[in-house]
Amino acid sequence: MEPKKEKTREPQTWANRIHEVFKSHGITQVSYVPDAGHSRLIQLCRDDHDLRTVVLTTEEEGVALATGAWLGGQRSVLLMQSSGVGNCINMFSMIRECRIPFFTVITMRGEKGEFNPWQFPMGRNAGKHLKLCGFEIERVEKSTETQQVIDQVAQQVFMNSSMGAVLLSQQMIGVKTFKDE
Amino acid sequence: MNEPGKRSLNYPLRRREVVQELLKSREGLLVVAGLGAPAWDATASGDHPLTFPLWGGMGGAVSIGLGLALAQPDQRVLVITGDGEMLMGLGSLSTVGLQQPKNLAVVVLDNEHFGETGMQTTHTAGSVNLAEIARASGISSSWTVRESSEISTTREKLLHEEGPLFCGIKVRAETLPLVLPPKEGEILQKRFRNALMNENGD
């Protein structure tokens, strides 16, 4: 689905902050399956010639891509929405077994205000699934917390070769309404 | 077993010999070997720190190769996988087609069977042509090989022509002795990085 032009509920400075943190941690490959909530961050990464952005056909490709990037000496991040977590689960076995540092930033669907009920099952359980797969997870509720949380999780992932996910709450990113605005 | 499934029992190319030829005097070649028989074939040609053999992650071999190729643009990356593994990750061919990595080559050892799970036929025994899918995904240098006379030119192309490249190699459906690489994923990734970047340990 083509993401609609975001009407700015508040200036999406959190996207700029995340982009800055990616840079400060030496991340050079950014893979994604689009989400409206990630659209500004994706655009910032695409416009940055020091980052290689890779649009995927499905999220588990991004897990494998991160493995290859790490083998080749590069750090990467996967941007996806909560429904994508379900697509990745078997591939997460590989990064766990191979101890590949893996970092993902997830925009949440299926939370308060969600219009599409088919988003609820993964929205409610993405965090639990990630934990079962071996992830450390942190949630961000307020845009002012974004930079600190992303920075901490990235630090942990790349210093300790661990699996880390930051979940951005639907309230923070703005609920998708499917109405013409 | 149905007729299309029997056809590959008589294909002239033998997978171990093909891989042996592809990996001879490999120098700086970086290899990702898909789970199952391709990983055993690569190991039969000599366990090597710059081979990353997969014990899982089915459908991910090409994406691993892409991440590696983007990270190491001056090194040739060769993905060797099977038809079953490739079929699970067909979308990754689209992603490669879009990224156009010049240093990535993909070889599918296509025996038209799921060899590790009881030799059931795959889609390639019937209607599916992987090289055509790769071409239509934007990998314009995609071709199929069936004869041993084609292998040495195929090797030259895979290792030296501008990528991305895709070669489907029709190989005989046969069950061969297992030649297993180390199983510990953490060791496999660390020894790969050590060999590539002269890291020491952690």
SS3 of chain A: helix, strand, coil, percent, to 5: 50, 20, 30
- Tally of CA atoms within 13 A in the half-sphere of B138 that contains its CB: 13
Tens-binned pLDDT, residue by residue, of chain A (181 aa)? 555 555 544 455 899 999 999 999 999 999 999 988 899 999 999 999 999 999 999 999 999 999 999 999 999 999 999 999 999 999 999 999 999 999 999 999 999 888 899 999 999 999 999 999 999 999 999 989 999 999 999 999 999 999 999 999 998 887 655 654 4
Strand partners, B79: B32, B106
Distance from CA of A65 to the nearest CA of B (A): 4
Q: Which of residues 93-152 of B touch A (CB under 8 A)?
A: 94-95, 98-99
Q: How far apart are CA B188 and CA A71, in angstroms?
A: 10
State whether B71 and A68 contact (CB < 8 Å): yes
Distances B6 to A71, B14, B144 between C-alpha atoms, Å: 39, 15, 19
SS3 readout for A17-44: HHHHHHHHCCEEEEEECCCHHHHHHHHH
Domain locations along chain B = 3-197
pLDDT digits (tens, 9 = 90+) for B47-105: 999 999 999 999 999 999 999 999 999 999 999 999 999 999 999 999 999 999 999 99
Q: How far apart are CA A25 and CA A51, in angstroms?
A: 12
Tokens of residue A94, six digits:
């590989």
Q: Are strands B113-114 and B120-121 parallel, antiparallel or unpaired?
A: antiparallel
DSSP string, B24-55: TT-TT-EEEE-TTHHHHHHHHT---TTEEE-S
Q: Which domains does chain A have, with CATH numbers?
A: 13-173 (3.40.50.970)
Q: How far apart are CA A69 and CA A28, in angstroms?
A: 9
Contacts of A137 (CB under 8 A, 6+ apart): A127, A130, A131, A164, A165, A166, A167
Distance from CA of B196 to the nearest CA of A (A): 8
Q: Closest partner residue to A70 among B30, B55, B189, by Cβ?
A: B189
Residue A65 touches partner B, C-beta closer than 8 Å: yes
Average pLDDT of chain B to the nearest whole number: 95
Q: Give the pLDDT of residue A2.
A: 53
Closest listed residue to residue A97, CA positions, set B32, B186, B54: B186
Q: Give the pLDDT of residue A12.
A: 54
Asked if A28 and A74 count as a contact pair (C-beta separation under 8 A), the reply is yes
Among chain B residues, CA nearest to A60: B60
DSSP string, A122-153: HHHHHHHHHHHTT-EEEEE-SGGGHHHHHHHH
Distances A105 to A19, A157, B55 between C-alpha atoms, Å: 11, 12, 27
State whether A100 and B189 contact (CB < 8 Å): yes
pLDDT digits (tens, 9 = 90+) for B97-129: 999 999 999 999 999 999 989 999 999 999 999
Residue B54 touches partner A, C-beta closer than 8 Å: yes
pLDDT beyond 70 at B136: yes
ipTM of the complex: 0.95
Residue A87 touches partner B, C-beta closer than 8 Å: no
Residue A8 touches partner B, C-beta closer than 8 Å: no
**Burial group, residue B27, by CB count within 10 angstroms (0-12, 13-18, 19+):** exposed
Split at pLDDT 50, 70, 90, the class of B4 is confident
Q: Which CATH superfamily is domain B3-197 in?
A: Thiamin diphosphate (ThDP)-binding fold, Pyr/PP domains (3.40.50.970)
pLDDT beyond 60 at B25: yes
Distance from CA of B67 to the nearest CA of A (A): 4
- B198 compared with B157, residue with greater pLDDT: B157
Q: Closest partner residue to B63 among A65, A93, A98, by Cβ?
A: A65
Q: Which of residues 91-130 of A touch B (CB under 8 A)?
A: 91, 93-94, 97-100
Q: Closest partner residue to B67 among A60, A76, A99, by Cβ?
A: A76
Q: Give the pLDDT of residue B2.
A: 47
